[in-house]
Chains A and B, each alone.
Chain A
Amino acid sequence: MESIPIGLLVIDSKGEIITTNRSASEILGYTTDMLEGKGWGEIFFDTDNNVEFNQVIVDVIQEKKINLHRDTSYVRPTGETLQLSITTSFLRENGEIVGIVVLMDDMTELHRLHEREKAILEEKSRIQHERAEGLKKLALAVAHQIRNPIMSIGGFAMRMLKKPDKKDQDTVYLQNILKGANRLEDIVQAVRDYTDLPPVEPIKIPVSEILEKAQRRLRKKAVESSKKVNWDIQIQPAEVFIDPELFERALDEVLLNALESFAGDQGRINMIVYQDIKGACIEISDTGVGISEQDKPYIFDPFFSTKAMGVGMGLCKAQRIIVEHRGEITINSSLEKGTKVTIRLPGREAGKLKDGRNDDGDIGRKNRQY
Chain B
Amino acid sequence: MEILEGRIDSIDVLKLKGRLDASSAKDIKEKVSALAKEKRVNLVIDIGAIDFIDSSGLGSLVASLRSVNKLGGDIKIASLQDPVRAIFELTRLHRIFEIFDDSTAAAKSF
Contacts and interface: CB of A to CB of B under 8 A. Distances in A.
B91 A40 contact: yes
A258 interface: no
Interface residues of B, number: 22
B58 interface: yes
Nearest to A42: B92
A287 to B, nearest CB: 60
A101 to B, nearest CB: 12
Interface in A2-45: 11, 13-16, 38-42, 45
B54 A58 contact: yes
B59 A39 contact: no
A39 B95 contact: yes
Contact of A48 (B59, B92, B94): B59
Chain B CB count within 10 A is highest, among A41, A42, A45, A62, for A41
Where chain B touches its partner, the secondary structure class is helix
Contact of A11 (B62, B63, B83, B90): B90
Given A15-B92, A42-B92, A42-B96, A61 B55 contact: no
A45 B86 contact: no
Chain A CB count within 10 A is highest, among B53, B55, B83, B93, for B55
A62 B90 contact: no
Given A41-B58, A48-B59, A62-B83, A57 B91 contact: yes
Nearest to A13: B90
A100 interface: yes
Contacts of A61: 86-87, 90-91
A45 B91 contact: yes
A14 B89 contact: yes
Given A46-B62, A46-B66, A58 B55 contact: yes
A97 B59 CA distance: 24
17 contacts: A11-B90, A39-B90, A41-B91, A42-B93, A45-B96, A46-B63, A48-B59, A51-B56, A54-B58, A54-B59, A55-B54, A57-B91, A58-B54, A58-B91, A61-B87, A62-B86, A100-B90
Interface of B: 22, 53-56, 58-59, 62-63, 66, 83, 86-96
Interface of A: 11, 13-16, 38-42, 45-48, 50-52, 54-55, 57-58, 61-62, 97, 100
